[in-house]
Structure 1
């Protein structure tokens, strides 16, 4: 387990394998990241030990190595940490990869379903699959033959929740002013929170009028900059200190000396301010992801072009965008209200006569 020596802000690791000591700095102040670094160091140390069987690694080592070598460089790094923590809470982290059974996986799935949404369970399984494949490909790990897809659970159809204009006014009234840009850019682009908080100035080309969005799964997509977005980005206040100055969206850190601007992260205390604003504004059943739905429904209502909206959202299949088709149905219904074969268009539905 990582520890922090007196006089340093970084966590350190110190362990022995086959009588040989391995120790040093994890190079991070974050305890969860330090655990991942330590796990990676254990993998490296084990591969150096001549008496250690090749290709034999534990679940904890696999998740830690995957984080250190792949996930920590992604915008969804903290999500990967929480997913790893969930996995080792249900499956012993000391379990060797080739000894993991489908029964273990199924028990974990059954337990997690009582705690979180089915979609969350599936995302955890998918991350486990990526970690196992990484260990097999990069470190020649011996892994069990697991069919993780077969134990994924059916997800409820995602509901579409649009922010009304009145709710929008109330939200900005109660939301901290330095968090307004985060919400505005979400409504202007329909981007997910991880893509927005990971957006760097190097991803923004105001001259070419293109933003490079970095989505989940290391996918990038180009988003066109219109006049509103261009003026908005040009007016944003910037952080002065590295690494925060690299990021587009920042907030005023009132806890730090001098109140400097720091980058906004998708998790942590700053996002709690978003939730507090929703409560203060009296907005119920609304998540940050619903800002993406808001962008989609408003854009579809304005253009009537489902294919265009699908491309702007980065959907690979237009079927995914069909959840917003109700907007077109409303427009069609409105158009039909003004159409009549007989020439008589009732303004209101006639009242049903009642008898005594």
Structure 2
């Protein structure tokens, strides 16, 4: 095995002799393949030669000699970038979790036991069932893509017996009024100095965290109280109506940016002052704050749930809530239709008063 340095790239090649003929197999490019992966592939080739087999013929397309890392980087990832707007989430899941467990394994060597061990390890690390399931789905999708490409030499998706964990995706958690004060007190202790403003803006607009963190100043028309989100989860733009309180948050951020940016402000609204780039995540500081406030079951997306629940409890119609959340179907919005007991009591009292029945 040797590394060939061309003008534009470096590639690994395997030189061998079979039936008295000198042959070469191009294995892959550096640094897409690292040296640990090359050692695994090298051992596979040597094993084939020891059995009297030509490594090239033993697996014509060399798919069984690929590690999962190689398949992900060279085959799966390029297509993922084209078809999925949130491909970076899958990339992060693979790099930080799947790669560490399966990355150096050959495709042909991955077994149902490996999948089960991965699930158990994730549970021991105290990841939620929903998070683990998302990673298992990604793993399954990789093998499903390989099936569609008709690649050979590895188990198909069904044979891996990928079983998702029991999980209630409709879990409901709303930030209560009495929880808000202690949660924001905890947020203000964060090293992320604008974390309270980010969380407040999420809670006041009902927007998704990705929409908020990628928001640019040019997206806002404060005179008309409008925020145009150019790209949403559905792939379509939408417009969010701003309240006075949400505009107050923007004003505070604007004044803060005037102090730290030479030009008076950044392109993005919620910017890391150290990198001067938009935040891509607030998970770690959010988790620390919720732990400090003893609200460890609160998730970032629950702020969107809380916004919707507050609207319904204030008498806003489900169709108006649908419009404010940007749902294409009212069916999706129905999960937020949770009226408080006080409101239900007042509603049923209205019916009683209407008929004016005397017993």
TM-score (ref. length: structure 1) = 0.64
* Alpha-carbon distance between aligned partners in 1 of 2:95 and 2:133, rounded to the nearest angstrom: 13
Report if aligned partners of 2:194, 2:270 keep a CA contact under 8 Å in 1.
no
Tell whether the 8 Å contact from 1:198 to 1:214 is kept in structure 2 after alignment. Answer: no
Residue number in structure 2 paired with 1:117:
128
Structure 1 Cα separation of the partners of residues 60 and 219 of structure 2: 44
Is the radius of gyration larger for structure 1 or structure 2? 2
Conserved 8 A contact 2:68-2:104: yes
The secondary structure found in structure 1 opposite 2:12 is strand
Query: 2:106 matched to 1:95?
Result: yes
Equivalences for residues 147-166 of structure 1 within 5 A: 147=158, 151-166=163-178
Of 285, 290, 304, the match for 1:278: 290
Give the direction of change, closer, same or farther, for the CA distance of 1:335–1:249 in structure 2 (3 Å limit): same
Q: Deviations over 1:42-92 (max 9, x none)?
A: 99xx9xxx9684372431123334446645995562563234443244446
Match of 2:303 in 1: 291
1:297-308 to structure 2, matched below 5 A, reads: 297-308=309-320
Residue number in structure 2 paired with 1:18: 14
Measure, in 2, the Cα distance between the counterparts of 1:224 and 1:100.
46
Pairing 1:184–2:197 present:
no
Q: What's 1:212 paired with?
A: 229
Q: Does the 8 Å contact 1:221/1:314 carry over to 2?
A: no
Please state whether the residue corresponding to 2:134 is helix, strand or coil. Answer: helix
The unaligned stretches of length 5 or more in structure 1 are 1-12, 27-36, 254-259, 346-356
- 1:219-234 alignment runs, 5 A limit: 219-228=235-244, 229=246, 232-233=249-250
Please give the secondary structure, in 2, of the residue aligned with 1:17. strand
Q: Is the 8 A contact 1:63 1:84 kept in 2?
A: no
Secondary structure in 2 aligned to 1:93?
coil
Q: CA–CA distance in 2 between the matches of 1:214 and 1:129?
A: 27
Match of 1:336 in 2: 348
Name which of 48, 52, 70 aligns with 1:61.
Answer: 70
Report the equivalent of 1:236: 253
Aligned partners of 2:202 and 2:303 also within 8 Å: yes
Change in CA separation of 1:90 and 1:38 when aligned onto 2, cut-off 3 Å: closer
Per-residue CA deviation, residues 125-178 of structure 1 (Å, 9 max, x unaligned), is 2223444456677x7744753248972333125432222334323333342352
Distance in 2, Cα, partners of 1:261 & 1:235: 17
Q: Which residue number corresponds to residue 281 of structure 2?
A: 266
| Residue correspondences, number | 302
Kindly indicate whether the alpha-carbon contact (under 8 Å) linking 1:162 and 1:297 is maintained by their aligned counterparts in 2: yes
Rounded to whole Å, the distance in 2 between the matches of 1:303 and 1:342 is 24
- Aligned-pair CA distance for 1:322: 3.0
Q: SS where residue 339 of structure 2 aligns?
A: helix
Q: Provide closer, same or farther for how the CA distance between residues 303 and 286 of structure 1 changes in structure 2, counting only shifts above 3 A.
A: same
Q: 1:278 to 1:21 in 2, by over 3 A?
A: closer
Displacement of 1:186: 0.7
Q: Structure 1: how far apart are the matches of 2:222 and 2:61? A: 51
Does residue 1:309 correspond to 2:321, yes or no? yes
Instruction: Give 1:264 deviation, angstroms.
Output: 1.9
Distance verdict in 2 for CA 1:205–1:131, change over 3 Å: farther
RMSD: 4.5
Distance in 2, Cα, partners of 1:207 & 1:55: 61
Q: Point out where structure 2 has 5 or more consecutive residues left out of the alignment.
A: 1-8, 16-25, 42-54
Pick from 156, 164, 167 the counterpart of residue 179 of structure 2: 167
SS in 2 for 1:151: coil
- Contact 2:227/2:239 (<8 A) preserved: yes
> What is the deviation of 1:247?
2.6
